[in-house]
Amino acid sequence: MRRQRPNSLSSSSPSPSLKRSLSFEIPSPTHAGTGDGSWYKAKLKNEGAASSSIGDNSNNNRGTSKYVLKPDDPVQKTKRIKDEGTERRRRRASSGNVKRELKHARTWHPDAQKSTMQSFHEHRRLMGQKTHEALSKADKKPLGELLNSQATKSKTYTHEQGLTWAQAEGIIEGYKMINVNPLYFSSTDRPPQESCIENLSRGCANIDVELDGPSFIMEGLYLGDRHDASSRKKMVDLGITHVVNATRDIANFFHGKVVGGRRIKYMNVNVNDADGVDIMRYFCETNRFLLKCVRNGGKALIHCRAGVCRSTTILCAFLMYFETWRLVDTLNYLKRCRFIIHPNNDFREQLVLYELIMFGKSSVKPYLEHPDWGTYKLRALLNRSGVESYRPPRRSSCVVM
Q: What is the DSSP letter of 207?
A: P
**Catalytic: 398?**
no
Among residues 204, 284, 293, 304, the one annotated as catalytic is 304
**What ranges in 139-188 are assigned the alpha helix state H?**
143-154, 165-173, 182-185
**What ranges in 74-138 are assigned the alpha helix state H?**
74-94, 116-138
Helices (H) and strands (E) in the chain, counts: 17, 13
CA dist 222 and 238 (Å) reads: 9
- DSSP labels, 262-296: EEPEEEE----SSTT---GGGHHHHHHHHHHHHHT
Buried b or exposed e, range 15-24, using 16+ CB within 10 angstroms = eeeeebeebe
- Count Cβ atoms within 10 A of the Cβ of residue 39 and give its class: 0-12 exposed, 13-18 middle, 19 or more buried: exposed
Sign of CA dihedral 152, 153, 157, 158: positive
CA dist 299 and 237 (Å) reads: 11
Nearest CA to 331 among 346, 114, 314, 203? 314
- DSSP labels, 80-94: HHHHHHHHHHHHHHH
Q: Phi first, then psi: what are they for 66, rounded to 5°?
A: -120, 135
Q: Give the pairing of strands 66-67 and 24-25.
A: antiparallel
CA dist 143 and 140 (Å) reads: 9
Active site (catalytic) residues: 304
